[in-house]
Amino acid sequence: MDKRFNLLYEKWIRVLGKNLKISEVSLIDALKYSYKYKALAGETPLQNLAIERLLLSIAITLFYRYDEDGENSYLNEADIDWEESDEIEELVLNRWKAYKELRNFPEGIVEKYLKQYENRFWLFHPDTPFYQVPEMVKDGKSYLKEYNVAVLQGNIKESDNKYTRHHFSMSEGENLLKLTESEAARWLIHLNAFSVNVKYNKNAPGCKDAAGVGRLGLLGNIKFEGENLYEELLLNLTPVKTGSEISLWGKPRPSWEQKVRIEQNCKIAPPNNLPELYSIQSRRVHLNAQNGRIDGFSILGGDFYDKEDDPIEQMSMWKRDTKTSKIIPKKHDIAIQAWREFSTLLKSNKDTKKPGVVSWIEILKRNGCINDKLLTINTLGMVYGDGMSYTYGDYIDDKISLSSELLDNIGKDWIITISDEIEKCEKVSNDAFKLFANKIKIICGKDAKKLKERLSTVFFQKIDEKFRKWLISIEPSKSIKEVEQKKWHRIAKRAADSVVMEYIKEIDCIIYVGKEETKDNIVSIPEAYNMFRVKLNGIYPQEFLERRINE
């Protein structure tokens, strides 16, 4: 295979300019002029995330190796007194602030670094194709699992060799089956991150277990948004380990600085540096091309490590596994709005672990490195189409904006208060609506579980925009807690009450009275409503809405 399409120089990364026009740029230009672009603008938000992790692996490597003057100045363990974590924090923050003040990467370092590894960025190469392995042949046949190119774009896979409807790609007609190099490069990175589960090949070297989904498909992915691409990379840089003490990561070792592994399903030790993690090769891929177009690809499982008690991943939410008691990634639920995950995002306790990128932003805020009034957290995830994750389903892309003061010391009590208010919303669903639904089941024979879910869905839809606005309005240095709580209580109670009242008005039940089987109690719809009101008043005891049902 001839060398063709070098990602350093060819235009393939889609970006949104300040003029709101989308264009394609090279990898070097995406970083060199990152301050000019508002954001990545690929075919899907998940594709953007996968490419952003590639950019972060480069950005962190640059940050560790070059100072603000573009001089070689390694963040070296030997130069640091390990008895004083404050010294590490000061060293890193001084460099971060200098990078921020430049508003761009130091002059010349993007080309200076990447051109050293130019040979590893060819999309097609006889020995080291980018994010791929060379074609591996046994008895004249490739032993990588072969797929139609449509699957590379995120199509739903019905079986091993049959493909159904097109799901994500913006292409049409013949272009569905033949991609340009730029399209293939973007989807290749997405595939490495979010690939469906793939079966092993008995003829290929390595472990014979199923691969599982791609690395990012395991996670409840989060990132902070910036005013432009450069600022976003700095916000998500996380150049230090956070915890009881601050410390540096290991020396950057992104995948293009390492030997290509070809074994399928290769269990590796957890990386000790973020560039290696963010460029992990979770798939063995080989693109097939004819006449300058990519018409298929081959794939097997790649590198992985245990997801339990992960010591390094910075861009995911976490929870405690009830079976093993270990901390594992907490994937997003497509039915749950991002603000309902507020506590998991911003708090650590015995059952959750705060995302590392959030702890990093707290360090920046605490040291006066960011003064923006609002920060926006983007939550992203893949929903696979079946229980074994052999098909793509939908994707999750949600955001919440909040005052940056919440991530400073002044915001700690407010985080507890806001988390408590979200918990009360969940109680409306799990206690008040559940009680009402159970009573309606007695009266009308309705499915209590389905009714409770219906009422809860409508309730959270009603308060969704209102909660987001309320959260944005909170400024810990100015807002009065009791005033804000009362304001929200009125909104939440009225919404909950209206959900039940609207249901009662449309109820198609002829019988309005029922008898509980285990008790000698007669239950009517007005009584069920009043019992709901009492439960709601227990959640929001002040200024309870005094409404009566018209029988």
Q: What are the tens digits of pLDDT across the range 378-395?
A: 999 999 988 888 888 899
Residues 396 and 478 in one domain: no
Q: Are strands 141-142 and 283-290 parallel, antiparallel or unpaired?
A: unpaired
Report the pLDDT value the prediction gives residue 21, as an integer from 0 to 100.
97
Do 255 and 360 fall into the same domain? yes
Q: Is residue 507 part of a domain?
A: yes
Q: Which residues form the domain of 391?
A: 4-123+213-406
Of 368, 389, 406, which one is at a domain's C-terminal end?
Answer: 406
pLDDT of residue 175: 56
Q: Which of 390, 406, 422 is the last residue of a domain?
A: 406
46 belongs to a structural domain = yes
Which ranges of the chain have pLDDT less than 70?
1, 76-85, 138-139, 154-176, 244, 508-521, 542-551
Containing H/E element for 319?
strand 318-320
What per-residue confidence (pLDDT) applies to 60?
A: 98
Residues 388 and 488 placed together within one structural domain of the fold: no
Question: Does residue 62 sit within a domain?
Answer: yes
247 shares a domain with 222: yes
**Residue 75 DSSP SS3:** coil
- Here the CATH number for the domain that contains residue 424 is 1.10.132.100
Q: Is residue 151 part of a domain?
A: no
In a domain, 201, yes or no: no
Q: Which of 339, 372, 406 is the last residue of a domain?
A: 406
Question: Which residues, including other chains, have CB under 8 Å from residue 488's CB and lie 6 or more apart?
Answer: 421, 467, 470
Contacting residues for 54 by C-beta, under 8 A, at least 6 apart: 189, 278, 279
Residue 42 lies in a domain: yes
In 125-181, beta strands by DSSP E:
137-138, 141-142, 145-148
Domain shared by 228 and 372, yes or no: yes
532's tokens = 């709901």
Count up the domains in the chain and report the number: 2
Distance CA 208, CA 211 (A): 9
Residue 262 lies in a domain: yes
- Structure-block tokens of residue 101: 């003040």
Q: Write the single-letter amino acid at 532.
A: F
Shared domain for 330 and 441, answered yes or no, is no
Q: Is 433 found in the same domain as 344?
A: no
Q: Examine the domain organization and report whether 382 and 422 are in the same domain.
A: no
Whether residues 401 and 421 fall in one domain: no
Same structural domain for residues 284 and 352? yes
C-alpha span between 474 and 406 (Å, rounded) = 9
The predicted structure's pLDDT at residue 77: 57
* Same structural domain, 388 and 444: no
Are residues 341 and 234 part of one domain? yes
Is 181 within the bounds of a domain?
no
